[in-house]
Structure formats: C-alpha cells, structure tokens
Chain A
Amino acid sequence: MAKLLFFGQLGDLAGGIERTMALSAAHAIGDIVALIDAQDRLLGSALAGPRVRYAVNGEIVAADFQVTDADELAFLPPVSGG
C-alpha cells in the first residue's frame, strides 16, 4: 500500500493527515490526484492547486513522477514556520 500524507489545510480536507492507497502498478502523481478527485472533488481540486508541491520518500518531485505501492507520497501546501 502506498502511503499518502496531507499536510496543513490539505489534512483538514482529507479528514486526516495519513491514508493508504493500493496501487497495482506505478502511477504518475497527476493520475493519483485524478483518482482522488473522482471520489472527492474538494480534496482533488486542492491537491491539484498550483502551489501544492509533491514529495516522494522525502524528495521533492514533479507531477509526472511515477509512484509505486511501496512509496510514501506527501502533498505539501504553502509552508509557514517561525
């Protein structure tokens, strides 16, 4: 099962910071967002927002990166610290 992480307001929309998704084959992040969007338009459109970045296994990647069932995919909205 791939692990999906939703930070910041994305976690509120997803109803939790973490969920799992079974991926029988590698999927581009854009395809995973489309799968989520088919079930939850509000979350799907937020994940597709222009200011959301993606990280796979702790490294920033582009939307065409191929995610497998063993990966951890994190959705990173605009940050704010300090």
Chain B
Amino acid sequence: MGFLSSTVGRKILMAITGFLLLTFLCIHLLGNSFIYLGWINAYGERLHSMPPVVWAARIGMVILLAVHIFFGIKLTLENNAARPQAYAVKKNVRATFAGRTMIWTGLLIAAFLIYHLLHFTLRMTNPEISSGIDAMGRLDVFKMIVLSFKNILISGAYIAALIAVGLHIFHGIQSVVQTIGLNSDKTLPCVESTGRGIAFILFLGYASIPLVIIFGLLNFKG
C-alpha cells in the first residue's frame, strides 16, 4: 500500500504541510511586525528585489496549500461517511470546538486567503490606497496598510479570519506533534498547552496591527 493511500501516511502529509504553513505564518508575522519599527516599506522593497526567493516561496506555498486542502477535504469526507447515522445525543468529553471545526476554519482561511491576496498582493480591491509611493520612491506599504485597516469592515474581516486561523492552529500544533509520533503520556499535556499558547500568541500578533490602527495608535503621517 502506498504512503498516500494509507490513513497514517495521509495524516503525516497533513501534519508536514500544516507545519510548513505554520512556519510561513511565523515568518509572515515577523515581516508584518516591521510596521512597528517603520521598516515595512524597506522590507517590502528588499523582499521584492529578490524575485527568485519570492517566486520560490509562492510556488512552494501553492503546492503546500493544494496538498493540505485536497487531503483535508478528502479525509473529512471519509470521516463523515464513517458514521452515516448520527447519534440522537452525543457528548464530546475531550474533543475541542477547534478540533471539530477544522474543515470549516480551513475553508474560511482558504476563502480569506483569496481576498487577502487580492487586497495586499495583487492590490485589486482597494486600488485608490494601494499604489502610493513614499518619499524614497518605494511602494508605500505603510500607507496601504494603515488606510486599509482604518476601514472597520476590512479590519473586521481580518480579525474574523484571524480567529479562524487561531482556532485552526489551536488544534493543529499539538496534532502535528502527535502525528509525527513525538508524543508520550508525559509530553501530551505540555504539547497541548504549548500549541494553544502559540496559537494565541500568533493570533494576538496578527490582530494587533488592525487593532492599533483602529484605535489610532499607529497612524499615517502625511
């Protein structure tokens, strides 16, 4: 039997792709945090001065997402088919809301990702604020972000999507460790709480940007 048709093989594939996507989330947050230091325009320019790196990352991400989404949907359909008749009464003692809604938070993240790319990468949704040039002739990423998040609807959509991301990795991180076989009775509680902590920190890190902009703590000068 092939790795990809095995229930454990596919689970490992979900774990590896999920872990790599999580790594991207961490790097992306690190990049975003340059906004607090005023380096975001320089960071954007530096990043885009290396097209091979950017394109390699993009292609890698597309492959990771395709695999993660394809098997995520396939496994969920199989799991739903494994219990054709639902219980009249079913109590979950241990399973979390985050764990049971992985497919829905996953699909929400995928839908949000399309909007996110149209918004900040392709700059198609708000062209009027997305093509400014700063004093040094660079693309004004700072202005684009601040003016975008001053719009309460855009900020709201981002924070809602971040809740989905947070929930997804709330279950995902400990799940990765268990799937690659690194858990024992002793490590499980620690792995679970560390995973949940990381999910919360990532959520706070990402959500802080629209929040400080809405509350006027980070403003566009000029």
Does B associate with A?
A: no
Tell me the B residues contacting A by CB distance below 8 Å: none
Tell me the A residues contacting B by CB distance below 8 Å: none
